[in-house]
Amino acid sequence: MRGCGSGSAKAAFLPTNARFYQTGFMNPDDIFMLRALELARQAAAAGEVPVGAVLVRHNEIAGEGWNCPIAMNDPTAHAEIRALRAAAGRERNYRLPGATLYVTLEPCVMCAGAIVAARVERLVFAARDIRFGGVRSLFRLADSALQNHQVKVEEGLRAAEAAELLREFFKERR
């Protein structure tokens, strides 16, 4: 698990409580997406595809993670799955109603299914994933009327920053 961290909800540079930010200076969505971007940078530094995720419940970070499939030898170690697992462990419940998940890249089909299964209320993602996106680009799994639970989906928050992080990561590897 070298370089993958614990998935804990500790953020050294910002309080985890959204009420702290409701002073008019910054929107809580921006704060939590900034944290997800920081986690994505940690993934890149570890040689993993730079994707970060932060799950917020009751106005506090309940779980977070970044991509770690290489270091963990685990194809399911996506940022979203790691954040969901951390939050479910913290909450002692596999369902996370009322939660918002912030992700720097559109979730894949596997992650979209897990988000629905966890009953996440809202998904906020930055950049679309035109090759593997399971929420908007290729499929619309999270808010499909065919599912027993629909997630509210918002996209585009800090998309340019997230896309640039991915572009730089892959540019260095070509």
Q: Exactly one of 38, 48, 80, 106 is catalytic; which is it?
A: 80
174 Cβ contact partners less than 8 Å away, ≥ 6 residues apart:
none
Q: What letters, b where the CB count within 10 A reaches 16 and e where it falls short, cover 91-113?
A: beeeebeebbbbbbbbbbebbbe
CB 34 within 8 A of CB 45: no
Is 164 part of the annotated catalytic residue set? Answer: no
- Long-range residue pairs from 95-99, CB within 8 A, at least 24 positions apart, any chain: 95/119, 96/55, 96/57, 96/62, 96/120, 97/121, 98/57, 98/58, 99/55, 99/56, 99/57, 99/62
1 Cβ contact partners less than 8 Å away, ≥ 6 residues apart:
68, 71, 72
DSSP 8-state assignment for residue 93: -
Q: So which residues are the catalytic ones? A: 80
